[in-house]
Amino acid sequence: MRILCLGAGAVGGYFAGRLVEGGADVTFLVRDARKKNLTEHGLRIESQFGNFAAPVKAITAAELSGTFDGVIFEFSGDDDICDGCFGHIVS
């Protein structure tokens, strides 16, 4: 199952990161600066429920292709990270 997570902030990063920890195939759709950070440092969760750190797959809207089985919508209400890109990503 391929999962796309829109954003990798506090909420999306936590829940999608926990899916990654469990072995799920998760890709984070992020802006250029966040992709650079994730590529260089990976995703790190520090939580009372256990810490987790790992490299993750991150792409920008310009790199978005293929389909996904599920999408996690976790981004700010005024975020334009993916204007118009939803039509072809969910199978």
Q: Does residue 47 fall inside a structural domain? A: yes
The pTM of this model reads 0.82
82 domain residue, yes or no: no
**Domain span at 40:** 2-73
Half-sphere exposure of 42 (CA within 13 A, CB side): 9
**pLDDT per residue as tens digits for the range 50-87:** 999 999 999 998 999 999 999 888 766 555 555 555 55
**Cα–Cα distance, 57 to 35 (Å, whole number):** 9
**Domain harbouring 49, CATH code:** 3.40.50.720
Q: What is the mean pLDDT of residues 18-46?
A: 95
Instruction: Give the total number of structural domains in the chain.
Output: 1
Evaluate whether 77 touches 6 at the Cβ level (below 8 Å). Answer: no
